[in-house]
């Protein structure tokens, strides 16, 4: 198993997910700061847009952080980090796992760039609707599905931590304590340590 990655990017999600599964993997650094870099052919097969993270697992070559989390949970942690295929929680799990790329990231980008928004026009609503919905989802629960931590929390938790780091998170006890719970996970801490220059 190999992860093409770069520090301080969405690769951290894939590192966190890999650390949660406990499966052995290697890392290969892609210098995303250098637009003139030579991308390895295998990396481009996994990630045609040349973006990290990208994963190679035997004949499986793939990118997109949500897809990577979904793949790893289904393949290596079904029934723990992913609800089983016939578990009634599966629908909610998939909804929340996709919430980051489908709703959080586009609405964050609009907010960050000061784009005029309309929650009825856009499939992702707008930033405020995104936050309200997430707050209701996590409110009163440890993890997004309740007591069980899943890959959906890797995607949501990394997004909430990121928004808090960049001062985009409105005052919210529910979201802030969720971010703290995520950060307290040893696997997330190991992933963050791997981002440090001394580990590379
Ligand atoms: N939707 C993708 C986004 C990936 C992405 O934007 N990666 C950035 C780093 S966070 C990147 O590789 N940028 C370098 C480039 O575009 O050359 C995912 O979630 O994996």
Distance, CA of 169 to CA of 121 (rounded, Å) = 23
- Here the CATH number for the domain that contains residue 181 is 1.20.1050.10
| 111 has pLDDT over 80 | yes
pLDDT of residue 81: 98
Burial class (CB in 10 A: 0-12, 13-18, 19+), 195: middle
Mean pLDDT throughout 138-166? 97
Three-class SS of residue 83?
A: coil
Say how far apart CA 152 and CA 100 lie, in whole Å. 9
Q: Token pair for residue 28?
A: 């290969």
| 8 A C-beta contact, residue 65 and residue 54 | no
122-145 pLDDT per residue, tens: 999 999 999 999 999 999 999 999
Q: Are residues 68 and 124 in the same domain?
A: no
Q: Look at residue 192 and tell me if it is in a domain.
A: no
Choose one of 49, 79, 109: the last residue of a domain: 79
Q: Look at residues 79, 111, 127 and tell me which one is the last residue of a structural domain.
A: 79
Q: Residue 108 above 90 pLDDT? A: yes
Picking from 54, 79, 104, the residue at the C-terminal end of a domain is: 79
- Separation of alpha carbons 151 and 26, rounded Å: 20
For residue 66, the ligand 1 atom closest to its alpha carbon is 19
- What CA–CA distance (Å, rounded) separates 36 from 187? 33
CA dihedral for 140, 13, 68, 77, sign (positive or negative): negative
Helices (H), 115-150: 127-138
Please give the average per-residue pLDDT across 37-65, as a whole number: 98
Q: Is the pLDDT of residue 199 over 90?
A: no
Is the preceding omega at residue 32 within 30 degrees of 0, hence cis?
no
CB of 27 within 6 A of ligand 1: the answer is no
pTM confidence score: 0.97
- Looking at the domain assignment, is residue 197 inside a domain? no
* Atom of ligand 1 lying closest to residue 50 CA: 17
CB 68 within 8 A of CB 62: yes
Identify whether residues 72 and 111 lie together within a single domain: no
Query: How many domains does the structure of the chain reveal?
Result: 2
Please give the distance, rounded to the nearest whole angstrom, from the Cα atom of residue 10 to the centre of ligand 1.
Answer: 7
Separation CA 29–CA 5 (nearest Å): 5
**Which of 3, 8, 10 has most ligand 1 atoms within 8 Å of its beta carbon, as the pocket-test mutant?**
10
Whether pLDDT at 200 is above 80: no
Give the helix ranges, DSSP H, for the chain: 11-21, 41-46, 65-76, 90-99, 105-112, 127-138, 151-165, 173-183, 186-194
Q: Ligand 1 centroid to 4 CA: how many Å?
A: 11
Ligand 1 pocket check: which of 40, 52, 71, 99 to mutate, most ligand atoms within 8 Å of Cβ? 52
Q: Are residues 108 and 48 in the same domain?
A: no
Q: Is the minimum distance from the CB of 50 to ligand 1 under 6 angstroms? A: yes
- Half-sphere CA count of 155, side-chain side, radius 13 A: 30
Contact 67 CB / ligand 1 (< 6 Å): no
Cβ of residue 52 lying under 6 Å from some atom of ligand 1: yes
Mean pLDDT of the chain: 97
Q: Is 101 in the pocket of ligand 1 (CB under 6 A)?
A: yes
183 & 122 share domain: yes
CA angle 121, 169, 93 (to 5 degrees): 65
Q: Domain limits at 97? A: 90-187
The pLDDT value recorded for residue 198 is: 80
């Amino acid at each position: 198993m190999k992860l093409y990655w770069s520090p301080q990017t969405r690769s951290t999600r894939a590192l966190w997910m890999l650390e949660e599964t406990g499966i052995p993997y290697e890392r290969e650094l892609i210098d995303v700061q250098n637009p003139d870099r030579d991308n390895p052919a295998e990396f481009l097969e996994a990630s045609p847009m040349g973006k990290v993270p990208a994963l190679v697992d035997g004949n499986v070559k793939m990118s997109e952080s949500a897809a990577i989390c979904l793949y790893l949970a289904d393949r290596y942690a079904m029934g723990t980090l992913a609800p089983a295929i016939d578990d009634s929680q599966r629908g909610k799990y998939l909804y929340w796992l996709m919430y980051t790329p489908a709703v959080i990231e586009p609405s964050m980008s609009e907010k960050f760039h000061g784009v005029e928004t309309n929650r009825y026009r856009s499939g992702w609503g707008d930033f405020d609707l995104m936050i309200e919905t997430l707050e209701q989802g996590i409110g009163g629960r440890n993890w997004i599905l309740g007591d069980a931590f899943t890959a959906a929390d890797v995607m949501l938790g990394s997004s909430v931590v990121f928004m808090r780091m960049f001062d985009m998170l409105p005052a919210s006890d529910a979201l802030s304590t969720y971010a703290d719970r995520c950060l307290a996970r040893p696997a997330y801490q190991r992933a963050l340590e791997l981002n440090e220059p001394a580990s590379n």
